[in-house]
Structure 1
Amino acid sequence: MGSPDVFPFKSNIDLDRNSSRHLYLQLCDQIIGFIKSGKLAPSSKLPGSRKLSEDLEVHRKTVVAAYDELISQGWIESIPARGTFISQDLPIVSPKKLRSFSNTSSNKNTAGFNFKKRKHLIRKEIDTIQAALKIDDGVPDHRLAPIEDIAKIYRNITKKVHHRELLTYGDIYGNMDLRKALVIYLNQTRGLKITVDNILITRGSQMGIYLASQLLLNDKKTIITGTTNYMTADNTFTEAGGIIKRVSVDAQGIKTNEIEKICKEQPISAIYVTTHHHHPTTVTLSAERRMHLLDLAQQYNFAIIEDDYDYDFHYSNAPILPLASNDTLGNVIYIGGFTKIIAPALRIGYFIAPKEVVDEAARLRRILDRQGDTLLEQTLARMISNGDVQRHSNKVRRIYKSRRDLFCKLLQKKLTNYFEFEIPKGGMAVWVQLKKPYHWDLVIAESHKQNLVFINDWKRYDNDNTDHNGFRIGFAKFNEEEIHTIINTLEEVMESIDEKK
């Protein structure tokens, strides 16, 4: 057995009496660290509890408690009449250079093993100012969320004894009450003709996009998107192994004649569309192109991933029914959710497709996330059945329309010399094109100086590097005062740029 004098415990153990972690556990941590680093070898003898307590100026019971804990974990062993030793069964570690424990730190930045890095998922980080107004690409105002209604129903559900079954593992397809409520809700509002067998509950629409891409795009299969497209969807398709082929988007939406030309030249697995308000340009897919796209899907047997992320926010007239409402041969995967209606933190969405597709997506979801928040799903089911979601949707639609009108009015009045835009028929954002020779890099940098921060990189909207100089600016989450501040600040920014030129 080793000698206790070999290792200088007194000079290498540093106990922090101001820490919330007990002293005996701190002592355990540091002795374990010495063992792992090879500074204390197997069979090395430890100082007696009295001696170590005197050296460290702690109560002997602290050392005894630490030794008891280390014995229970198998790091050390006590031999009657001989003393306490590092367990002889531990592997021998080559000792590293001895230095004070307080100066040692493990490397938490670099892995000691190889792993796959996904460069297509890296986003440029934007420095933000705490007090600044932050320009997004169109998100709801969380301050309008019906939090009292949610809390009231949630509390009521948790009080019921028969709802305690919601605390255990549930159906991988999602809460049955919510699926039943969605059948009625979506059939009435979207003109769908579905049953509960066609619905999988997801954690927001992004999970639906991910599941669809995993089912459709393995082995480098091709998916068609617009030349401008939702960047996160593009990243999802690339992650699934798909090959993205882009076609033009104009005022009538994605050009289906270009899609037809590609279909004649090569096999297509899927097309991704945001039919109601194209992301990022906000244009609506025309009725003629909707019918043409469905005909192409049936003729060439490809899937349409229809991401209807803000169907409920159409201001000019009644919303146009989705492609899924006219899908008679099972070509459409319809994806939506409630994050835009209620709040981004409410991660509940739906994946609508033929039953065999839903079954496969549910099996895949099982290994990804197992199930969603059953209590929250039950709450949402009750809110839909009670009409709370519909009433809230009508309320915020009026508010967002008013904000759109004000934002576009001020944009036209004060910034028409710098920006071109069309008033969007719906959604939560305006597609703004900066006139040449102005450049977004300079506008964003100058805005940042005046506490107006663009949280997205403008390049994310230029997927195929066409240099269209467009940017998606959200208006929905800002009240009237904030909208005035944003437009006035942008006016000052552009005037400042002109002066410097």
Structure 2
Amino acid sequence: MSSPFVQQLFKEIKIKRAVKKPVYLQLSDAIMWMIKEGRLHRGQEIPGSREMAQLLTINRVTVTRALDDLQAQGWLNRLVGKGTFVSAHIPEVRPDNSRPAKPPEKVAGFSIPAMGYINHQLNIPNTTLHLDDGFPDPHLAPLKELYRSYRAQLTRGGIYDKFGRYNYPEGAVYYTQALSAYLNHTRGLNTRSGNLLSIRGTIMGINLVCNGLISPGDVIVSGIPGKIRAEDIFVHYRAKHIGIPVDRHGIVVEALAEICRKTRVRMVYVTPYHHYPTTVTLSVERRTQLLQLAEKYKFIIFEDENDFDFHYQRRPLFPLAAADKHGMVIHCGSFSKSLSPAFRIGYLVAAENVIDHLSQVRLLLDRQGDQILEYAMAELLREGTIQRYLRKAMTVYQARRDFFCEKLAQQLGDKIRFDIPEGGLTVWARFDKAINLEKMAQKALRRDLYLSNGNLHKYPGFHENATRLGFGSSTIDQLEKSIAVLKKII
């Protein structure tokens, strides 16, 4: 029979019969916890199955199963005719009766490096009204077609090829071939399957390029104001980030040329359709100048095709990648910007040796993308579903843009300045200096309206008192109500 002290330990075990967890696992975990906490030490004898069953008033078979489980894991050693003992191979643990200052499930015992650049709060709105960052309306997206296509991939042949093995890190060939044809037709590119790498979104694309092509100390240039998430990634990879001005024609390329004359630039990040956050389009003249500078100084152009699919005034200019004759451009796009942020599927376009290199780097980070989603998206591209959706959505979004801009001018024209965007799903709104955007956003939230307070677009020396007001994800009625809320607040 075990000692009175050990008997008392086992009497304190609480078996909860109302929970779904089997009783033998509850007992096994309780004994394991006592060993880990030093309540039971190595070599110590514990009650046998009969005695333990009596102490806990449970079935002996249940106890035996728990002890067998612990012995199989190496916690216990059961000797025939001698008893059951805590394994002698368990490291000695001294009982610690002190209470930790902070519970380990909340605060780790090891240090975490300070990274001030990642401390941005994520605002996940749960309001009826929203003037967001320029998201598409998921009600317009071809959800039923995507569902049917995705389901079909689960029932058709080739099960082993789709489910039984890993695939190429650059993406399923069926998808990259369909995507290549789509991009060549819609963006004037000259690609083959080997020029494409499937990614989950633009942020992953930036990370992948920085991981594989940027070294600590490399200079990366982008427009100010710009996309803060991209800038955070540059800092994370220990690059030196230099900002250049943005005017109504896009980034000021002459400022970039001045930097190139003084220091070696490794990469220029640009959003020519349309510049984030100001929505301006990079002019033809500056596109030509940028490509010439890249060829002369041998820097990478990372082209983020933000909002390419929606142009209202005219046919869009082709991407920088379409005019690139020297392999200087890495083009990045995402279906999240056109369909829904929930769809994590995008692409990098570059020279084949760049794609080969980044594919190998991708293996270190993320083995491959969602292959079934890639097959489903390939079907939608081949059938023309995405193309038809974009044509339909364009009409809806243009009507929403026109209504929103007209009402903004009518209702808030003395408090706000903006240019009607040629494309995209948002307005770059510059408010009167007397309006506190942070307080305005807080008051709007209390009235069931979400909009950004503009803090992400503030830089030293840049104080536009501006924010992005997205109109794409709201109906005409919702846009009217949102403007009414803003008018009351202001």
Tell me the TM-score range normalised by the shorter chain. Answer: over 0.9
Would you say the 8 A contact 2:7–2:55 is kept in 1?
no
Matches within 5 A, 1:89-128: 89-97=89-97, 107-126=104-123
Would you say the 8 A contact 2:2–2:47 is kept in 1?
no
Per-residue CA deviations over 1:322-347 (Å, capped at 9, x if unaligned) read 11111001111111121122222221
d(CA) in 2 for partners of 1:227, 1:125 = 22
Q: CA RMSD in A?
A: 2.1
d(CA) in 2 for partners of 1:104, 1:258 = 53
SS at match of 1:161: coil
AA in 2 matched with 1:218: S
d(CA) in 1 for partners of 2:470, 2:256 = 30
CA distance change for structure 1 residues 126 and 345 in 2, over 3 Å: closer, same or farther? Answer: closer
Per-residue CA deviations over 1:20-49 (Å, capped at 9, x if unaligned) read 111211111111111011111011111233
d(CA) in 2 for partners of 1:294, 1:104 = 58
CA distance change for structure 1 residues 12 and 319 in 2, over 3 Å: closer, same or farther? Answer: same
CA distance change for structure 1 residues 190 and 147 in 2, over 3 Å: closer, same or farther? Answer: same
Cα shift at 1:237: 1.1
Of the three residues 413, 418, 423, the one matched with 1:416 is 413
Would you say the 8 A contact 1:324–1:334 is kept in 2?
yes
Per-residue CA deviations over 1:167-205 (Å, capped at 9, x if unaligned) read 120011111111111221111111111222211111122
Of the three residues 168, 171, 196, the one matched with 2:168 is 171
Per-residue CA deviations over 1:390-449 (Å, capped at 9, x if unaligned) read 011111121111111121121111111221111111111111111011111111121122
Would you say the 8 A contact 2:273–2:281 is kept in 1?
yes
AA in 2 matched with 1:438: I
Query: What's the counterpart of residue 147 of structure 2?
Result: 151
Of the three residues 453, 458, 461, the one matched with 2:454 is 458
Cα shift at 1:273: 0.5
CA distance change for structure 1 residues 295 and 85 in 2, over 3 Å: closer, same or farther? Answer: same
Of the three residues 355, 365, 370, the one matched with 2:367 is 370
Would you say the 8 A contact 2:78–2:85 is kept in 1?
yes
Query: What's the counterpart of residue 183 of structure 2?
Result: 186
- Check if 1:293 corresponds to 2:290: yes
Would you say the 8 A contact 2:440–2:453 is kept in 1?
no
Cα shift at 1:361: 0.7
Would you say the 8 A contact 1:4–1:47 is kept in 2?
no
- Check if 1:379 corresponds to 2:376: yes
Would you say the 8 A contact 2:411–2:483 is kept in 1?
yes
d(CA) in 2 for partners of 1:172, 1:433 = 43
Would you say the 8 A contact 2:127–2:445 is kept in 1?
no
Of the three residues 204, 208, 215, the one matched with 1:207 is 204
Query: What's the counterpart of residue 46 of structure 1?
Result: 46
Per-residue CA deviations over 1:437-492 (Å, capped at 9, x if unaligned) read 111111112112212233x4521112445221110121111112211221111111
Would you say the 8 A contact 2:130–2:482 is kept in 1?
no
Query: What's the counterpart of residue 77 of structure 2?
Result: 77
- Check if 1:481 corresponds to 2:472: no
Would you say the 8 A contact 2:195–2:352 is kept in 1?
yes
Would you say the 8 A contact 2:225–2:462 is kept in 1?
no
Cα shift at 1:115: 4.2
- Check if 1:437 corresponds to 2:423: no
AA in 1 matched with 2:136: P
d(CA) in 2 for partners of 1:303, 1:98 = 57
Query: What's the counterpart of residue 161 of structure 1?
Result: 157
Please identify, of 203-212 and 52-61, the stretch whose mean Cα deviation from structure 2 is larger: 52-61
d(CA) in 2 for partners of 1:147, 1:127 = 22
Would you say the 8 A contact 1:24–1:66 is kept in 2?
yes
Query: What's the counterpart of residue 18 of structure 2?
Result: 18
d(CA) in 1 for partners of 2:460, 2:167 = 43
- 4+ runs deviating over 4 angstroms: 103-106, 125-128
d(CA) in 2 for partners of 1:222, 1:98 = 51
Query: What's the counterpart of residue 448 of structure 1?
Result: 445
- Check if 1:351 corresponds to 2:344: no
What is the TM-score with the length of structure 1 in the denominator? 0.93
Cα shift at 1:239: 1.3
AA in 2 matched with 1:156: A
CA distance change for structure 1 residues 464 and 225 in 2, over 3 Å: closer, same or farther? Answer: farther
CA distance change for structure 1 residues 78 and 465 in 2, over 3 Å: closer, same or farther? Answer: farther
Would you say the 8 A contact 2:438–2:453 is kept in 1?
no
CA distance change for structure 1 residues 377 and 125 in 2, over 3 Å: closer, same or farther? Answer: closer
- Check if 1:58 corresponds to 2:54: no
SS at match of 1:294: helix
Query: What's the counterpart of residue 87 of structure 1?
Result: 87
Matches within 5 A, 1:224-239: 224-239=221-236
Would you say the 8 A contact 2:274–2:282 is kept in 1?
yes
Would you say the 8 A contact 1:307–1:334 is kept in 2?
yes
Would you say the 8 A contact 1:4–1:44 is kept in 2?
no
SS at match of 2:54: helix
Would you say the 8 A contact 2:302–2:332 is kept in 1?
yes
Query: What's the counterpart of residue 499 of structure 1?
Result: none
Cα shift at 1:53: 2.5
What is the TM-score with the length of structure 2 in the denominator? 0.95
Please identify, of 339-348 and 364-373, the stretch whose mean Cα deviation from structure 2 is larger: 339-348
SS at match of 1:78: strand
Would you say the 8 A contact 1:39–1:98 is kept in 2?
no
Please identify, of 133-142 and 411-420, the stretch whose mean Cα deviation from structure 2 is larger: 133-142
Per-residue CA deviations over 1:65-106 (Å, capped at 9, x if unaligned) read 21121112111121222221111221111112299xxx9996
AA in 1 matched with 2:393: V
d(CA) in 2 for partners of 1:299, 1:160 = 51
Would you say the 8 A contact 1:3–1:44 is kept in 2?
no
d(CA) in 2 for partners of 1:433, 1:18 = 60
Would you say the 8 A contact 1:280–1:461 is kept in 2?
yes
SS at match of 1:411: helix
d(CA) in 2 for partners of 1:465, 1:64 = 72
* Identity percentage of aligned residues: 34
d(CA) in 2 for partners of 1:266, 1:371 = 37
Please identify, of 34-43 and 72-81, the stretch whose mean Cα deviation from structure 2 is larger: 72-81
Cα shift at 1:113: 2.4
d(CA) in 2 for partners of 1:16, 1:475 = 53
Of the three residues 244, 268, 276, the one matched with 1:279 is 276
Query: What's the counterpart of residue 497 of structure 1?
Result: none
Please identify, of 285-294 and 81-90, the stretch whose mean Cα deviation from structure 2 is larger: 81-90
The count of aligned residue pairs is: 489
AA in 1 matched with 2:73: Q
Would you say the 8 A contact 2:430–2:466 is kept in 1?
yes
Ranges in structure 1 where 5+ consecutive residues have no aligned partner = 495-501
SS at match of 1:85: strand
d(CA) in 2 for partners of 1:104, 1:16 = 29
Query: What's the counterpart of residue 325 of structure 2?
Result: 328
CA distance change for structure 1 residues 215 and 74 in 2, over 3 Å: closer, same or farther? Answer: closer
